[in-house]
Amino acid sequence: MKVESFRKRATRGFTLIELLVVIAIIAVLIALLLPAVQAAREAARRMQCTNNLKQLALAAHNYHDGNQCFPRGTFYAKPENCSRYKQGASWLISILPYVEGSTLTNAYNYSLFPPGPANTTVIATGLGFMWCPIDGSVSNAVTTTTPNGSLGSCVGVAGPVSPAWIIQHTSYGASAGPIPVRPVGPATDFAGVAGTTDANYLAAVGQGQGVIHFGSLVPIARITDGTSNTLLFGEKNYAKIDAASQIVWFQWFSGAYSDTHFSTLYPINPNRVFNPYATLLTGGAEDLNVPGGGNSTTVAAASNHPGGANFAFCDGSVKFLKETIGSWTIDTATGLPPGMTFNAAATSGYNQYSNSTSPYGIYQALSTRSNGEVISADAY
């Protein structure tokens, strides 16, 4: 009897209650560990993003050493077979020699329009430092038969191209300042295109308060607010824009503001902080149209990092700025800061945006290079 009782006890299995308890304990452990794993992954992604911005800042400083100024945001260029003019190459094209991009530099035709037939090899090439690892599908090339949207035959081809073009994008933009000012034409006529100049070209370019903007040629000596208090580069959120916009915006080779710049006209991550302005939303569920082109998502600095975005400063440092940083408010009647207006009918880019009567927030002050603000590091 004793032997049989022992055998019966030895073969006894777990009861249902015991199994449920074990499963519950495992579930609790997973729930406790999962946030830590996710936090570790986000820390790694943010570190990679920080390294990308450091590399861009170092390249910009190396460019400065060779040219006595930071790279120009862009300039006007005449596309092939076209009577129009458009913004030319981006600042990223300018720094290619300083980011081990000599092969692309040698392949790029600087005398032609960036998204033209002669430069399809370059615009189809993506480089890892241009992509934030948390920015969705930014590293996936986009294939299109109608490159650069409305240019059409201005790129030297009639109608859809065959074979289709491959276009790469970027997660980073240069700081253009609080207002994305630009002239409405070049300083002088292009050959064969009379009457396209902007008589106030220099005045329009002079309104730019950032370090890299349309027509800028800014040396360190003109950053009188201090290099440690002036933004140079920041993140842009490619993953946030819709599929149609991903073809025409954030192109790494284009100098358009909605491609390779950001403005502090709108706060960091406007898609997450614009809820009070829902009545103004026109370009999508979370976008405000920006006077002069683009929308708040394409023009503003933004990221998929929780709570803010990474920025490189002019001294080469990279800091994470919270989206709650002090910023000017938006007038719900105009979609602009109170007291600011935009003159769409202006025949010159000069004074298209009026001077704002709103005081700059800390975020806007950080994007100006010589406005005389005194900003303590603990303010951001």
pLDDT of residue 48: 93
Tokens at residue 166, please?
Answer: 């491959």
What's the CA gap between 361 and 178, in Å, rounded?
A: 10
**Which of 56-60, 82-86, 288-292 has the weakest average pLDDT?**
288-292
Over residues 150-158, the mean pLDDT reads 54
Over residues 220-225, the mean pLDDT reads 95
Strands 76-77 and 86-87: antiparallel
Band of pLDDT at residue 283, cut at 50, 70 and 90: very low
What's the CA gap between 249 and 251, in Å, rounded?
A: 6
Which secondary structure element, helix H or strand E, spans residue 16, and what is its range?
helix 16-67
pLDDT of residue 37: 60
- The answer on pLDDT for 236 being more than 70 is yes
- The answer on pLDDT for 69 being more than 90 is yes
Which secondary structure element, helix H or strand E, spans residue 94, and what is its range?
helix 91-94
For the chain, the average pLDDT equals: 83
The values of phi and psi at residue 77, to 5°, are: -135, 150
Distances (CA, A) of 288 to 38, 266, 274, 283, 341: 32, 9, 9, 6, 15
Q: Are 308 and 322 in contact (CB under 8 A)?
A: yes
DSSP at 359? P
- The answer on pLDDT for 147 being more than 80 is no
Residue 166 three-state SS: strand
Over residues 261-284, the mean pLDDT reads 69
Tokens at residue 200, please?
Answer: 């106030």
| Residue bearing tokens 């284009």 | 254
Q: pLDDT by residue (tens digit) across 310-347?
A: 999 999 999 999 999 999 888 767 778 888 888 877 87
pLDDT of residue 73: 93
CA R_g for the chain? 26
Of 318, 285, 322, nearest in space to 305 by CA: 322
Residue 187 three-state SS: coil
Instruction: Enumerate residues 6+ apart whose C-beta is below 8 A from 326.
Output: 361, 362, 363, 379
- The answer on pLDDT for 278 being more than 70 is no
What's the CA gap between 160 and 162, in Å, rounded?
A: 7
Band of pLDDT at residue 282, cut at 50, 70 and 90: very low
What's the CA gap between 368 and 356, in Å, rounded?
A: 14
What is the SS3 string spanning 280-291? Answer: HCCCCCCCCECC
Compare 374 and 89 and report the one with higher pLDDT: 89
| Residue bearing tokens 């994007």 | 367
Q: Is the peptide bond before 163 cis (omega within 30 degrees of 0)?
A: yes
Of 44, 50, 90, nearest in space to 311 by CA: 50
- The answer on pLDDT for 289 being more than 80 is no
Of 190, 198, 161, nearest in space to 84 by CA: 190
**Which of 78-82, 86-90, 306-310 has the weakest average pLDDT?**
78-82
Q: pLDDT by residue (tens digit) across 177-221?
A: 998 888 888 887 766 666 678 888 999 999 899 999 999 999 999
pLDDT of residue 285: 44
pLDDT of residue 8: 54
Tokens at residue 292, please?
Answer: 């002069």
Q: Are 197 and 96 in contact (CB under 8 A)?
A: no
What's the CA gap between 213 and 226, in Å, rounded?
A: 18
Q: Are 281 and 142 in contact (CB under 8 A)?
A: no
What's the CA gap between 125 and 254, in Å, rounded?
A: 13
pLDDT of residue 9: 54
- The answer on pLDDT for 142 being more than 70 is yes
- The answer on pLDDT for 253 being more than 60 is yes
Q: Are 367 and 221 in contact (CB under 8 A)?
A: no
pLDDT of residue 277: 45
Over residues 273-278, the mean pLDDT reads 53
Of 314, 317, 360, nearest in space to 338 by CA: 360
- The answer on pLDDT for 152 being more than 60 is no
